Amino acid sequence: AQRVTQPEKLLSVFKGAPVELKCNYSYSGSPELFWYVQYSRQRLQLLLRHISRESIKGFTADLNKGETSFHLKKPFAQEEDSAMYYCALSSGGGNKLTFGTGTQLKVEL
């Protein structure tokens, strides 16, 4: 069975500091990984997915199959980055998503 682990429930950083939100997964096949974000009073929305290898709002995430990780990084945190971040894994046919427990990012001034 697949599993997604986000070890930090809350991560607090100062504005301008680097951010790294950790995500580890377990899955026997070839996974597809995503980061979703939920800003205050907004719906859950896709931030980025590993197959796109893109940078969104300054965030990047690299899939490391050796370490089974998909950590989310940003070199300089902004106040508007404060939100709940979920790592998710899509496995097999049917496109089912397995979510981690989420990390609340708080960017302080």
CA 75, 33, 78 angle in degrees (round to 5)? 25
User: Residue 26 interacts with other proteins (CB under 8 A)?
Assistant: no
Provide the pairing of β-strand 10-14 with 103-108: parallel
- Applying CB under 8 A, among 49, 61, 74, 83 the residue interacting with other proteins is 49
User: Residue 96 interacts with other proteins (CB under 8 A)?
Assistant: yes
CA atoms within 13 A on the CB side of 30: 3
The span from the first CA to the last CA of the chain, in angstroms, equals: 41
User: Residue 71 interacts with other proteins (CB under 8 A)?
Assistant: no
User: Residue 34 interacts with other proteins (CB under 8 A)?
Assistant: yes
Contacts to other proteins by CB under 8 A: 32, 34, 36, 43-46, 49, 51-52, 86, 90, 94-102
